[in-house]
Structure 1
C-alpha cells in the first residue's frame, strides 16, 4: 500500500532519474525546460557552488523567486548541499520578507534581478550579510545561470533525510507566522502513502501545476512528488483561467492539482464557453481549503473527470486525509486518513474521543508529522501533545471513517486556499492613528470561500477615509490579506479576558 521505495535523499532520486530516463522532461515553465539529466546536473552544480560560497550544513536559504524551473532547481540544490530551503512568496511585502529572513536566520537568498535593490536594502537595514544570488547577470553578485553550469569542486550529496530540510511558513492565530520544520522523509512519506497509491501519480503523468510553490501543498505534490515518481510537469507562474485553458487545449496533461477556487473558476469559464477541456486529464485533486460538495459534483458531471478532495496542513507535511478514486465517496467529505496515519476526533475540553457523527477536534499522529516550529518550543509543545498533533480544526466522522471538516477552533480565514491570520491584519490596522479598536473576521464569498472584512472602532472626532485604510494595508500586507470591506462599529464584542467574540461580531453584520 505504501510505496516506501519512493522515500530517499533528493540527490539519490535525481541520479536515479537521470539514469532511467535522461532525456525525459522533468519541469517546464514559460521560459525554459529541463530534462531529468539536466535537472540532476544543474542541481548538483548549484549545490557544489553553494558549498564553495560558504554554505554550511543546516544553514537556511531563502527561495524568493516566482513559480519557475529556477525555483525548483534552487530548492533541490539547497537540500542536496545540506542547507534548509525557506520558500518565500514572491508577492511578500518587505515587512513579510524581513520577518522570514530574520526568523529563519537565512544565510543565502535566491532573488530576481528585479528585486535585487530591495533585497540589498533589506539586508542593510537588518544588518545582515546574507549572500544574494540573482536570476539575471549582475557584475558583483553570483549569477544563477552561471552557478548551475559548472561544479565548483568535489561534491558529496547530503543524504540525511531525517534532518530539517525545509522551513515552510504558515500563519497562526497569534498573527506571527510560524516556520514549520519538515524533513525530506516526512514529505516523501506523503508521496508514498498518498499521491502514489491513492491518486496513482507515476512516471507516465504530465502534471499541470496551478499552485504557488512556496506552499507546503505545492512543495509536496508539485516538486518532491514529481521527482520521486518520475513524472513531468508544467509550472504556471500564476494561475489564470485563460492560460490554463490555453495549456489544456494541447491535450498534454493527465493530472491537475489545485485549490477549490481554481476548480470553481475553471468550471465557470468552461460552462460559459461550452468547452470540455479535460479530455486528456485522468484526475484532478483539491486541497488547501474546504471544497463544497456541490462544486465537486458539478465539476465531475460537466467534465467527466474525478475531482478528489483531501485535507492537509503544513504541520503534517500536507495531507492527512484523501478521497480515493471510485464511487465510494461521501459528498462534502475530505476522505479517509492516509494509510499509516492515525486520526482521532476528541472533545477539545476533555481530550476524550467523541462518538461517530459528533463534532470534535481532529488530532493526528504519523511519520509525516513536523519536527516542530522553528525557534518556538512553547508553540510546539502546545501543538504536539504525547505525539499527537492538535490541528485546531473541527470535524465529524461517519461510521465508515469518512471525515468532514465542519469548522475551526483556530480563527484562520482561508481565502481561496491562502491562510490569513486575523491578528496579523488587526495589528496592521491598529497602526493607523484614527483606529481605536478593530477585529478582522471571515465572511462567505461565492468564489473564494471566505474573504477578510475589518470591523473598526474610531477614536472620537477622528477623521477617517476607507481608502486610506485599504492603502495602508496594501503597503504592509500581501494582496490576499487586505480586507474586502470595512465596517464601522461602536464596539468590538470581547470575552472577560479580552478575546474577540468573532461569531457574535459576524452575526451582527450584513450578510451580503
Structure 2
C-alpha cells in the first residue's frame, strides 16, 4: 500500500470521518480502503478510467483511495443531472462507472469513446493514477483537466500532524474539496462532512462536533450572516475560517470579523489547473495575501496573475493549452494589485471586466462599495451591452427591506457618488428576492 494508506492505518482509533451522524475511525477507513481495493483489483484493470458517481461520504473516500492504489484514472462526478453526467463520462473516456448503494459497490461498464486520449495513455505508461476534474464555468462545455494523482498526493507527504476538526464544505469533484481532504488525512485530523450545504445544517454540525476550521466561499459565509444561523448555534469552537474560489469584498470580510471576532480569517488561492497553493493573509481583516509555497512560482504580467506549480495538470482532454505559456506558466485570468512588500490583492477576473466607453470597471470594486450600504444583504455587479458606451454597469441587489426599483436606484446613485468614478456607478439596478449563487456557492454573474 502507498504511504498515505499506511499513514491512515497508523492513526488507529482516532476519528477520521463524521458523516450522517456516524463516526468512522482511521482504522475503519484503512480497512474499508483495503476491502474495496481487493474488489476493484479483481474487477478493474490498472489504467482504466473510472467514474465515481457520488459526493463525499465514508464509502466514496475509501473507494477513491482504493482506485488510487489500483492505479486507475479517477473521475469524481457529483452531478445528479443525467445529461451532465453523460457528458462528463463521454469527455473523460470512462471505461467503468461505480456507484455506491448501502456501502456496496455497483460496477457498470461504459462504452464511450473508441480512442483513448494520449494523456491517459501517458499515465498508463508511467504506471500511475490520474484524476480528471471539470471546470465549473457557466458557459460552454466544461473543460476536462487531467492530473497525475500520484504527484498531487505526494505533495502532502510529511505534513505535521494536527489535532483539529475540519468541516469539509467544498465538493468531492472540486480541487479545493480534494485539497482539504488530502491535507486533513495527511495531518491525521477529524473531518466532518455535511449531508447538505445549507447554513443551518452546517452551523449545527459546527456546534455538535466542535469544528475548529471551516473552509468556504465568500458567498456561503454571507449566507450564514443573512440567515442568522450563527445566532442559533454555539460556534465558539471555530478557530479559523478560510475563504476562496471567488473574490471577497472588503466590506463583507469586515462584517464577518465583527460576527466572529476571535476567529482567524485566511484567504486561500488555487485553480483546478495548478492545485491549491499555501498562502498568508496580511491580517484577518485584509484581502491582501502572499503566496508562500515552495511548490509554487508566480509572476504578474499586465496585471494578470501567472502561476507555475509542481502539481499542475498534464493538460486538457477536450481543450487546447492556450491558457498555458510554452514554458509552463498558467494564465489564471485573475487580475491583481501588487504591493511593495510582496502581498497581492485579487481584484477580479479579466473575463468579468466591464468596458464602459473604453474605461474598465471591476465588478468587485463596485460590489465592495455597495456592501457598505445599510440594509444591503448581497449584490452582484455585471456588464450589460449598450449601443452607445459598449457596456453599462448593472447591479442586482438584495435589500432587507421592501423597496421599489426606482427608490433603490436613487439610493445606490447617491451612496456611490464620491466613492466611485461616475462611469462605475450602476446605471441599472435590479432587485433580488434571495441570494443567487451557483451549485459551487459562487456568485452567478450574467
Aligned position for 1:36: 26
User: Please, which of 197, 202, 216 is the counterpart of residue 258 of structure 1?
Assistant: 216
Counterparts of 1:174 and 1:243 in 2: how far apart (Å)? Answer: 31
Aligned position for 1:204: 163
Is contact 1:47–1:77 with CA below 8 Å preserved after alignment?
yes
Aligned position for 2:287: 332
C-alpha displacement at 1:110, in angstroms? 2.2
Counterparts of 1:31 and 1:171 in 2: how far apart (Å)? Answer: 30
Aligned position for 1:215: 174
Is contact 1:17–1:230 with CA below 8 Å preserved after alignment?
yes
Is 2:29 the counterpart of 1:26? no
Counterparts of 1:87 and 1:448 in 2: how far apart (Å)? Answer: 32
1:434-445 aligned within 5 A = none
C-alpha displacement at 1:185, in angstroms? 4.8
Is contact 2:257–2:285 with CA below 8 Å preserved after alignment?
no
Q: 1:192 to 1:215 in 2, by over 3 A?
A: same
1:261-276 aligned within 5 A = 261-270=219-228, 274=231
1:405-420 aligned within 5 A = 405-410=346-351
Counterparts of 2:166 and 2:30 in 1: how far apart (Å)? Answer: 19
Aligned position for 1:99: 87
Counterparts of 1:332 and 1:72 in 2: how far apart (Å)? Answer: 33
Secondary structure, counterpart of 1:181 in structure 2:
strand
Is contact 2:73–2:129 with CA below 8 Å preserved after alignment?
yes
Q: 1:224 to 1:98 in 2, by over 3 A?
A: same
Aligned position for 2:152: 187
Aligned position for 1:166: 131
Aligned position for 2:305: 362
Is contact 2:79–2:85 with CA below 8 Å preserved after alignment?
no
Secondary structure, counterpart of 2:59 in structure 1:
helix
Q: 1:173 to 1:248 in 2, by over 3 A?
A: closer
Cα deviation digits, residues 117-151 of structure 1 (max 9, x gap): xx98x968x699xxxxxxxxxxxxxxxxxxxxxxx
Counterparts of 2:185 and 2:317 in 1: how far apart (Å)? Answer: 27
Is 2:67 the counterpart of 1:109? no
Cα deviation digits, residues 41-68 of structure 1 (max 9, x gap): 2112212211211x22221111111331
User: Please, which of 189, 195, 220 is the counterpart of residue 237 of structure 1?
Assistant: 195
Is 2:4 the counterpart of 1:13? yes
Is contact 2:203–2:230 with CA below 8 Å preserved after alignment?
no
Aligned position for 1:373: 316
TM-score (norm 2): 0.71
User: Please, which of 50, 64, 77 is the counterpart of residue 66 of structure 2?
Assistant: 77
Q: 1:186 to 1:507 in 2, by over 3 A?
A: farther
User: Please, which of 224, 227, 232 is the counterpart of residue 185 of structure 2?
Assistant: 227
Aligned position for 1:277: 234
Cα deviation digits, residues 5-52 of structure 1 (max 9, x gap): xxxxx732122331x321111112105432111211211221221121
How big is the alpha-carbon RMSD for the aligned residues of Structure 1 and Structure 2? Answer: 3.8
User: Please, which of 323, 334, 359 is the counterpart of residue 393 of structure 1?
Assistant: 334
User: Structure 2: where are the runs of 5+ without partners?
Assistant: 115-122, 354-362, 386-422, 432-446
Secondary structure, counterpart of 2:226 in structure 1:
helix
Q: 1:273 to 1:391 in 2, by over 3 A?
A: closer
Is contact 1:207–1:253 with CA below 8 Å preserved after alignment?
yes
Q: 1:236 to 1:449 in 2, by over 3 A?
A: farther
Is contact 1:33–1:69 with CA below 8 Å preserved after alignment?
no
User: Please, which of 341, 361, 364 is the counterpart of residue 296 of structure 2?
Assistant: 341
Aligned position for 2:141: 176
Secondary structure, counterpart of 1:250 in structure 2:
helix
User: Please, which of 231, 243, 256 is the counterpart of residue 286 of structure 1?
Assistant: 243
Cα deviation digits, residues 430-484 of structure 1 (max 9, x gap): xxxxxxxxxxx999797776599999xxxxxxxxxxxxxxxxxxxxxxxxxxxxx
Aligned position for 1:311: 269
Aligned position for 1:461: none
